[in-house]
Structure 1
C-alpha cells in the first residue's frame, strides 16, 4: 500500500491530550514497523476536526513520528482534512502563511483536501456571480474544485464522482491553471461577507 491513514485520532481520547499523543505515537511506531517490512510505503493522519479543534498540529505529528521512528527518518508522508468554500479556515490560514496546510508543505507532507464539494451541497449553493469570480465558464462543481486546488499547500484533492461525465468534468477543472493568491483572497472576502 502507498499510504495508510490514521483516521480521526482525536476521537479516541476526547479531553485527554496526553493519552491521545501516546496513542498517535504508538500507532506511528506500529506503522513504522509496517514500512520496515515493506507492507506500506508511508502513513498519514486523516481528520475532520483535529487541526481545527487544536487537538494536534503538523509540528506535533512530525515530532511524534520522529519519536516513533527513533529519529528524523520517519515515514509520515501526508495529512488529510476538509478544504472547501464551506471549510474556509484552512484556506484563510494558508493565505495568511499559517495553519496546517502551510506547516505540512514546510514539512514536505502531502496535503489531501477532502470534501471539496462539501458532500455535494456546494453545487447547489454556488451561483453565477461566484463562478464568474472564480473562473467564468466553469460549472459550480468545477469552480469549487478549482478554488480548493488553488489553495497554497494542497497537493491532492479527494474527489468522488457519480458518473463518468462528472469525473471528466472534475479532471477538466483540475487541469485549469490555479487561481493566484489575490483571487483566492478576494473569494474568501466575498464569502466572509455573505
Structure 2
C-alpha cells in the first residue's frame, strides 16, 4: 500500500460494506449499491472510491443513480478477477478517497482539447481530476451526435472564459446515455 493511499484512508476512515447482486443491462454489468450503503457516502453525486469486490481491489468512481443512490459498472475483466458476474451476489467494500483517478477522455473531446488555445490546455491540466470528470461526464451525457458535438464546443468556449467546471447540470442524476432514462438509472 502506498503512503498516499494510507493517508487517504486515515483521512476518510469511512468503509462501507455490503452485499449486492450484479445486474446485466444490455451489454453492461452493473452493481447497484443498497440504499443504506449509498446513504453513508459523502455525496449524492459521483464518489471516488477504493473498492474491494470478493477480495479483488481496484479504484473507481461510483456513479449517481438519479434517486439519491449509486451504482458502478463492472467490466468483464473485473468480474473475472472477482469471480462474479450477472445474477451473482458479491461482497463489496468501498472507501471514499480524496484523490480522484484521471477520467478516460473521449476521443472527440481529447482531439478538440489538443487543438484548443494554449490557455485552455493549461486550464485543463490545472483543474482537478474531479473537475475533468465533470466535463467528461457532461459531454458523454447524450446519445445525440449533434448535441455531443455542441457540448465539446461549449466546453472549449467556457474554458476559454476561465470556467473550471460545467454548470447547469444535476450532478446527482444518472448521465450514462446507455443506462439512463430521464436522469435516472434504468436497468433492463
The TM-score, its normalising length taken from structure 1, stands at 0.27
Higher strand share: 2
Highest RCO, 1 vs 2 (Cα 8 Å, sep ≥ 6): 2
Higher helix share: 1
